[in-house]
Amino acid sequence: MWWVCLQLLTLCTALLSDFLIHSFSLLLKNVCGYCPTRYSFFDFCLPAVSVPTGIYTETAYFAKLVGKYRMKHKVIPPAVTGPPEFERAFRAQQNCVEFSAIFLVDLWAAGWFFNQGLAAVFGFVYIYGRHLYFHGYVESAKGRLPGFSLCKLSLVCLLVMASVGLSNSFLDKYCDINLFGRLQRLISG
């Protein structure tokens, strides 16, 4: 459960940093008449680094658990077959590693081009889903389904956010059409 506390701490840090960045941008606009339209790399770093730190901490935790199952069932490396409980734990950990690349690309694209706070929230939903997936899969093959569904939902949301953000950035840069700006004017005016 120590990693749950770490996840909550990094989520709060990511949300606080997003709030502070927006507050600072408003202050710059009111005091100096200038507000940057895009985040700098430094602004992006905290949420973009805190969530991947969480997923890699969780992956290391899963690897440690697989090692314990190896010792419990006397499965000598490099063997990856053994009792069903060990095989399910090993497969759950491998699945987490396999999905890491997809998750990170979706997370970073959604955070950079859409909203880093919202991307961080879905990132932590994904991490929680991975937790449910791993422990459910160790119990039974069907036990993995609730966690997998939560991970899939999170990945789809991140992909949609990244696609919308990338599309808006492309249209803004090459066609001088800012969909987010137009939407904001419609809502406020």
As given in the structure block, the two tokens for residue 111 are: 């955070």
Whole-model pTM: value is: 0.77
Q: In whole angstroms, how far apart are CA 185 and each of 46, 49, 114, 179, 180?
A: 30, 32, 17, 10, 9
> What is the rounded distance in angstroms from the CA atom of residue 39 to the CA atom of residue 176?
19
- Which domain range does residue 102 map to? 2-188
Domain count within the chain: 1
Higher-pLDDT residue of 178 and 35 is 178
% of the chain residues with pLDDT over 90? 54
Q: What is the mean pLDDT of residues 36-62?
A: 73
Do 69 and 89 contact (CB within 8 A), yes or no?
yes
As given in the structure block, the two tokens for residue 41 are: 């790399």
Enumerate residues 6+ apart whose C-beta is below 8 A from 125.
150, 153, 154
Tell me, what CATH number does 101's domain have?
Answer: 1.20.120.550
